[in-house]
Structure 1
Amino acid sequence: MSVTSDPLNGVLLEDRYRVDAKIATGGMSTVYRGLDVRLDRPVALKVMDARYAGDSQFLTRFQREARAVARLKDPGLVAVYDQGLDGSHPFLVMELIEGGTLRELLRERGPMPPHAAAAVLRPLLGGLATAHRAGLVHRDVKPENVLISDDGEVKLVDFGLVRAVAEAGITSTSVILGTAAYLSPEQVSTGAADARSDVYAVGVLAYELITGATPFTGDNPLTVAYQRMDHDVPPPSAAISGVPPQFDEFIARATARDPEARFADAAEMAEDLDAIAVELALPKFRVPAPRNSAQHAAATAFHSRPTVDFHPAPQQVPAQTAPPLPPPPAVKNPTRQLIRDPQDWRPIAEDDETPELASQFAGIDIGEFIWERQRARRSLMFWTLIVLLLTGGMAAAGWALGTNLQSLIG
C-alpha cells in the first residue's frame, strides 16, 4: 500500500464537513469519506477538481443539478444532502454507502448468473425510473457509478455531473475513457441524451453483468465509442453458453441503435425485466458488496491512523491510498466462462430447493443453472408419468388375465 500526501486530508469544508480519507479519484473529482461535524453523521464528499472553481457557468449548473437530484427519493439512488464551494473546491455532500462499487464486484467475482444480474438491475432501474419521471437523465450509467452496500443495497450515484461539465465546455480524457463503453449512438454522434440514452447504457451494463465484458473493444475510447454507430450489441448468448433467449431479447431492445426501438424509459425496461424474472422463476438474491473495496480500505486507513489535531496542517497528515484492485478473472475459453466458486452467487434460501440449486453452480456454465433445474423437473415429471402409465397398464393387464382365467375355470 503506497502512502501519499493529500492536501485536503483533515480539512473542514465550510466549517462543517471534515475530510477524513480518500476513497477514489476520477477525471472530474475525488471522493472522500467524511464527517458532518454538526450532525455527527458520516458522509461521502465528492470534491470537484479545482479547475472548475473559476468557471461560473459550471458552478451555476453544478448547484442547479445538485438541487434537482436532492429532491429525488428512491432506494436505488444515493441521496444528496448538500453542496458547497470552499475556496477552490466545489463539493457535494452525499449519503455514505459502506461497501464498494459494482466495478470492484465484477473484478472480484466475474460474470453473474441471471438471478444475480436481475438483482443488480432491478434497483438500478427503479432509481433511474424515479429520475426519468422527474425529467432528469443520468448520462453516465456504468459500474463505477453503481454502489453496493454491505447490506446488499444497490444504488446509483453521480446524477447531473456529466451535464454540468459538458455545459462548462471542459473535457477530460479520463472521463471519456470511463464512459465510452456505455455511450449511446446519439450521444456519440450529437451529444444529445434523453431517458432512452440511459436505457442503452443499462443494456450494455446488463450485457457486461452476464458475460463479464463490454460488447465493444478498441485501441482507444473513440474507436470503442464509434463502433456502436455501425454495429449492434451482440446477444450475450454469442459470448457465453446457457443464456436464455429472454435476456438476449431484453438486451437487444435496450441497445437498439434507433432510440425509437428501445424501451421508452427505465420504468418500461423494469417492467420487462420483472416479466422475465417471473417467466424464468429467478430466485431472490442479495447482491454482495466487494470484499476488498477502496471504500473499506479508506475506512481502515482512517480508523488506524494516529489521532491528530482537529485543524492539522495539510502536509502533516498523510493519507493512504487504497490497494490496487485484483485483476479480472482469467478466461481460458471466452465462449464458456464457468462460475469459479459455488457460493459466489448463491440465492437467498427460501425453501428446501435452494441448497440443491446452489450445489449445481460448480462446473456449470453461467446462466444454465435455472434451465438445468427446470429441465430436471420436466424430466422427473415425464418419467413419473411413464411409471404411472406402466403401472396402470400392468394392473389392467393383470385384471384382464384374471378375468379370463376365471371364465375358463368356470
Structure 2
Amino acid sequence: MTTPDDPLIGRVLERRYQIDAPIARGGMSAVYVGTDLRLHRRVAVKVMDSRYVGDPQFLRRFEFEARAVAGLSHPGLVAVYDQSIDGDIAFLVMELVRGGSVRELLRERGPMPPHAVASVAIPMLGGLGTAHRAGLVHRDVKPENVLISDTGDIKVADFGLVRAVAEAGVTSASVILGTAAYLSPEQVSSTDIDARSDVYSAGVLLFELLTGRQPFSGSTQLALAYQRLSFDVPAPGDIIDGVPPQLDDIILRATERHRDDRYVDGFAMQHAILDAVDDLRLPAFTVPAPQQASDRVTAAIARPIRPQQAPPPPETRQVTGPGEPYDDEDVLDDEYGDDGYGDGYSDDDYYDEPRRSALREHRGAPDDDRIDDVMPPSRRLAALVWFLLIAAVAAGLAALGWTVGAGLA
C-alpha cells in the first residue's frame, strides 16, 4: 500500500483519469481507485513501477498486450478500458471490481468445499479459455489474480503483464518470471509457453482451494519452482477428506508434467468441471467476497478526493470564420452515471456550476453574463454609419412622397 503522501493522489493522467485512492501494491505495479472524468465513472488504474517506464521494449509489449486484452469480452475477465503513458507514468485503466482476491478469501475462510471450488473454477476457466482462443497466455494464474466482486462475480486480472515484463531490458534473462508456486514445468525450464501452461497453474490453484496448501515447498523460490520438474502434484483427496474423485482426476490431468497430457486450454478444463458438477449434482453457489478486502476498496472509494491544481491550459485557437463558434468534443455537456461504483459518488461532486463555468472559460466559450459584450468597436462604428445612412434614405423617400401627394391634391 502507498502512504497518505503518495504524490499520485489527486493527479489527473492524460487530462482524463484522476487518481483518487490507493488499493494495493505489488512487485510490478500499484493499483488505485480512479475516476474517468470524461465518462464520469469509477475505474481501477494500475500504475507500472517506474523502472519499466524508460524501457522501449517493455512499453511496446505493454501497449500490444493491453490492446489485445481490451479486445476480449467475457464476464470472467477484468475489462481493460485504456492504456497510455503520461510523462514518467505508464498506466492501465481497467474495470473496478469492488471486492477482493481469492487469496484474501483463503486467508479469511480457509479451504473451500467442492461446490465453492467449482463456482470459482467455471468462470475463471471461461475467462482463460476466451483469451486462449484469441492466442493469449496469462503466464501468472494464481489466487492473487483471480478477483471476487461483492456480487459473487469471478474475474481474472493482469493478462499480459508478465510477458511485457519478460521483454523489458531491465529484466535479467536468468530470472524466472511468474509466481514460483504456480509455474508450469515448461515455464521453469524453457520459454516455450502456451495455453497449457495456464492450465497447469489453474490446476495448482484449484488444489490449493480444496486443501488450503500448495502442492510443493522449498527453502527458496528457485527451489520451489524446480520441484515441479521432478515431482507430480498429488491428488487433493490424498491431503484432505471429502474431495470427490472426479475433481481429483481433473486436477491430476491439469497438472501433468508433460503438457501434451493436459487439457488443451481453459475451455477444455472448464467442460470437464461442468461434467463433474452434473455428475456430483453440486449445488449452485455464490462465492462471497473477502470482507476485509471489500471494506478496503469501499473505504478507498469513499475517501475524500484531493484534486491537484490543473496545469495551465494550452493557447486557445482563433476562430477564422465569421460567427463560427468554438467547438470541442471534450466539453462534458451530458450527465452520466457512475456504473454503480461507489456509494455517494455523484457527477455533481466534480462538475458543479463553478467548475462548469471554469471549464467553459478554459475551452474558450464565454460565460452567460458576458455574452452580450462580444462586438468589437470597429463593428459598432460600422453599424452606426449604416443606421444613419438608412435613416437618411428613409427620410428622403418620406419627403418625396409628401410632395407628390400634395401636388396631386
* Distance across 2 between alignment mates of 1:311 and 1:102: 38
Q: Which has the higher contact order (CA 8 A, sep 6+)?
A: 1
CA contact (8 A) 1:132 1:265 kept: yes
TM-score by length of 1: 0.72
- Residue 167 of structure 2: SS of its match in structure 1? helix
* 1:367-389 residue CA offsets vs partner (Å, 9 max, x unmatched): xxxxxxxxxxxxxxxxxxxxxxx
Match of 1:299 in 2: 298
CA contact (8 A) 2:21 2:303 kept: no
CA contact (8 A) 1:140 1:182 kept: yes
* Distance across 2 between alignment mates of 1:308 and 1:50: 23
* Distance across 2 between alignment mates of 1:304 and 1:264: 45
- Kindly provide the amino acid, as one letter, of the partner of residue 92 in structure 2: L
- Residue 139 of structure 2: SS of its match in structure 1? coil
* 1:164-192 residue CA offsets vs partner (Å, 9 max, x unmatched): 110114449xx969711100000000132
- Kindly provide the amino acid, as one letter, of the partner of residue 137 in structure 1: V
* Distance across 1 between alignment mates of 2:283 and 2:208: 20
Q: 5+ residue gaps in structure 2?
A: 312-409
* 1:121-141 residue CA offsets vs partner (Å, 9 max, x unmatched): 000000011111111111010
Q: CA deviation at 1:2?
A: 9.5
Residue 42 (structure 2) pairs with residue 18 (structure 1): no
* Distance across 2 between alignment mates of 1:151 and 1:78: 14
* Distance across 2 between alignment mates of 1:49 and 1:308: 23
CA contact (8 A) 2:166 2:177 kept: no
Match of 1:319 in 2: none
Q: CA deviation at 1:3?
A: 5.1
* Distance across 2 between alignment mates of 1:38 and 1:222: 46
CA contact (8 A) 1:21 1:299 kept: no
Question: CA RMSD of the aligned region, Å?
Answer: 1.9
CA contact (8 A) 2:119 2:285 kept: yes
* Distance across 2 between alignment mates of 1:299 and 1:16: 22
Change (3 A) 1:45 1:154: same
Change (3 A) 1:178 1:163: closer
Matches within 5 A, 1:344-383: none
* 1:307-349 residue CA offsets vs partner (Å, 9 max, x unmatched): 6444399xxxxxxxxxxxxxxxxxxxxxxxxxxxxxxxxxxxx
Match of 2:133 in 1: 133
Match of 1:340 in 2: none
Query: What's the % identity of the aligned pairs?
Result: 61
Matches within 5 A, 1:377-396: none
CA contact (8 A) 1:123 1:154 kept: yes
* Distance across 1 between alignment mates of 2:102 and 2:273: 19
Q: 5+ residue gaps in structure 1?
A: 314-410
Q: Number of matched residues?
A: 309
CA contact (8 A) 2:140 2:182 kept: yes
Select the structure of larger CA radius of gyration. 2
Match of 2:219 in 1: 219
* 1:73-102 residue CA offsets vs partner (Å, 9 max, x unmatched): 000000000000011110000000011111
- Kindly provide the amino acid, as one letter, of the partner of residue 311 in structure 1: Q
- Residue 292 of structure 1: SS of its match in structure 2? helix
* Distance across 2 between alignment mates of 1:136 and 1:285: 29
* 1:178-236 residue CA offsets vs partner (Å, 9 max, x unmatched): 71110000000013210000000000001001001110111111011000000000111
Match of 1:105 in 2: 105
